[in-house]
Chain A
Amino acid sequence: MKRILMILILLIPALASGNEASKAFYDGVSHYEAGRYDEALAQFLTIAQTGTQNGKLAYNIGNTWMQKREVGKAILWYERAARLMPGDPDLIFNRNVALAQVKDRPEERETPMLSVLFFWKRGIPLKTLQGLAIGAGLLLWTLALAGLFWGRPPLKSATLIVGALFAVLASTAIWDTATRTGSTRAVILPSAVSIRSGLSDTATELFTLHSGSQVSVEKERGDWVRIVFAEGKIGWVKKESVGVI
């Protein structure tokens, strides 16, 4: 009895924080429905700032920025949502609406060979990919153990097939997890920003990018980051002008 009481006492903060998040979320939805987008955004961002990663929450934040006519920030959050639920039809629709408002035409880049090889994982969230890899691993080692006990040839063939599947899934998931940690994709946030040749406001303006344009962040130095928009379109911009996806 005493033990159960202790567990319940320990669970109280967790339940309380869950309730707070729920309250903030539904308050945000109410504000949004009433057209109070600043308040809605504040509520949604409160949840996001706790470190919660959720595709639907990111989608809602993107929607709120869209209502505030902040295309750059909307695209940033839609892209974040796309990482968590890439195949969501609502997200794809809204993101396309936002992308249609971007002034800079994205220039074509060469398709890397890896993206051709790994076409099959498009639309699969990373979490699902990780789950598949872990599941394949469990199956593989269970089959291997069974093979140790019985050593039958059909079991050996099944183990080899599952092993190959595990190798592909695990290596892909490890790669994606590692690259996600050091993400370099970013979105331009202000309506227009000058990309300069150096790390000062007086450096030569090389070209201008507008909100929502997607770039790669190459390096960071002080308050400035070096971005690549397309081949031959490289320059420095203040860190606050880009949002890393």
Chain B
Amino acid sequence: MKRIFSILVMILFFGLSVSMVHAESVRAVVDTQRLRLGDSFSLRVIADFKGGAVVMPPMPDFRVSSRGTSTRMQMINGTTTREVESLYLLSPLRAGALTIPPITVTGRGGTWRTHPIPIEVAEGGTTLASDAPWGVSAELSTESPYVGESVIWTFRLQTAARFQNARLAKPSFEGFSSEALGEGRAFEQEIDGRRYAVHEMQELLIPQRPGALTIDRARLSVEMVTGRSRRSADPFFDDIFGSQRTMEPKELTTQSLSLNVRPLPPYRGEAPFSGLVGQYTLDASLEKARIVAGDPVTLTLTIEGRGNIRDASAPLISLPPGIKHYSDTPVEAVDLGPSGWQGRKQFKTAIVPLVPGELTIPPISLVWFDPKAGAYRTDTTEPLSIMVSENKTAESVELFQGGAAPSAPVTMQEAVRMKGQDILPLKVDADAMSDDGPLALSSFLTWLAAPLGIFLVVFLALRRFRRDVSVAESLTRRAIAQVKAAEKAISDADLFYALLHSALSLAMGALSGRPVEGVTGDDIVRIVGGAGGSDDMVVACVAILETIESVRYGHGAEGSDRRRDNVATLMQLMREVSA
């Protein structure tokens, strides 16, 4: 009996805790514990005190988004209770038995933790079950397109309930160029006797590279009307004070989609491949069939079809030689249709034939890839002919300008036209075997730098020579000046001999190329003799030195004539030095 009682208590306890988990004054509540992958559910964390902080633990199996906090007050039997509710929207990221771990709430001087909540997630959420009130799906027009082929991605929301504030987060479409196809559409559909509103949006995708590509899930955030609130029991009051509907936030997710993008097969045709993928036609037309030489005629090439037509470039036109042609800017009339880009692109070329005769524009080809057939297709135009007549006006003007006499015979000059196509013969000169290549960079730089090097060497040598010359010249000039000063001071013996000694020292310096201090008789013999001076000059200079020294140290003196002779001797020496 005691055992049965215990089991009953256990059943009661767990039965209550399926959807409501208490942890003293904090609890976590979910609106469902069984759902499919792609659906979402709400989680409420309720605390019966104010100022509680909810700390959500890491939940790798769910995508969690907060939906705000609300406060609710209740008065039951005179007792007021206050509840603070934090609302979260959870989307499972995988199927299987998942668990919401304990959630921590801090406040009122303590820390509370909720119990873990098990969640069962079943596979598959794209197809709408007949009993489900709403659902989303995504699909592709083809799962194995070629590179450049148009693919339509369609998103659908099917709902039997009313909703508001719908926000669709599209996938990134990595590996594709994408463009929204219109504003979307809405229609009604009956499934198993139940009417659904279907809202559809489409995106044009063009694969940019081959290989396996994945389009991520699309997510729709929406508030679903799940019923009326209990605030008003009478619909009459609802009509007066406004509807009191219960809104339930939902996040609906489609499945991710996989594609195998195929590369274009190798092209081995003659005409160049245009790069277009889809279904196309090529048309060529001429503005007129008869013109005068020198006048332009417009050739219009029109590419029309569905696919990546915006990438179309002008088809190759092989015109005969001697014809001028000028391309115009292409004109596009391309729109987004239900299956992608469609329309036409026109390329206009002005053709100016210069010679009279029948001009034939050869067939023009457009090669594109047809993804439905998995093969390259070629559309070729018919050859176009123009009759070009002679331009008589131009000829008469030329004749007038030529100034020829009316009676003189006139030779009509024509442009020389090539009749055949061949190359000129070989070159058999003997120098065809010699190496005639340009210099390598290093050799060339050496050749450029060599004259500069020679210049620098000469410049430096010249500079040094000039410096030596300048010392000797300076000393010579100073010696001459001292001799002239001594000549003027003949009457003053002390000054005369001082100046004479200075002049003699400077003269020796000028001869040796550097200043000489304390000149002696031996110095004079060596310097004057070394400079090629005569023996008489050496003797005379030594005599001058001896005279100066005898006057300075022995107080002897010479007469004026003798002093003039010494001056003359030194002046003679300086003249020889200068020479």
Contacts and interface: CB of A to CB of B under 8 A. Distances in A.
Interface size band for B: 35 or more
Given A93-B424, A205-B263, A141 B455 contact: yes
A59 B436 CA distance: 13
B506 interface: no
A224 interface: no
Interface of B: 147, 209-210, 263-264, 266-268, 272-273, 275, 316, 421-441, 444-445, 447-448, 451-452, 454-455, 458-459, 462
A47 B209 CA distance: 47
Interface of A: 18, 21-22, 25-26, 29, 32-33, 47, 51-57, 59-60, 63, 66-67, 84, 90, 93-94, 97-98, 100, 103-105, 125-127, 129-130, 133-134, 137-138, 140-142, 144-145, 148-149, 170, 173-174, 177-178, 180-181, 192, 194, 197, 202-205, 207-208, 210
A43 to B, nearest CB: 11
B396 to A, nearest CB: 34
Given A54-B435, A181-B441, A204-B209, A29 B263 contact: no
A22 B421 contact: no
B426 A54 contact: no
A16 to B, nearest CB: 14
A25 B451 contact: no
Given A53-B436, A94-B424, A181-B441, 12 more contacts: A56-B429, A66-B423, A93-B423, A100-B421, A127-B436, A142-B451, A149-B462, A173-B444, A180-B438, A197-B209, A204-B209, A207-B275
A interface secondary structure, majority: helix
A47 to B, nearest CB: 6
Contact of B426 (A63, A137, A205): A63
A194 B147 CA distance: 16
A194 B266 contact: yes
Given A56-B429, A148-B459, A208 B437 contact: no
28 contacts: A22-B430, A25-B432, A29-B426, A52-B434, A52-B437, A54-B434, A54-B435, A54-B436, A57-B432, A57-B433, A59-B426, A60-B426, A60-B427, A60-B432, A63-B423, A63-B426, A98-B423, A100-B421, A127-B437, A130-B438, A130-B439, A141-B454, A174-B444, A181-B440, A194-B267, A204-B147, A204-B209, A205-B264
A18 B275 CA distance: 53
Nearest to B466: A148
A79 to B, nearest CB: 15
Contact of B431 (A56, A174, A207): A56
Nearest to B273: A208
Please name the 10 residue pairs, one residue from A and one from B, whose CB atoms are nearest each other, closest first.
A53-B437, A56-B432, A126-B438, A56-B427, A141-B451, A141-B455, A127-B438, A94-B423, A21-B433, A90-B424
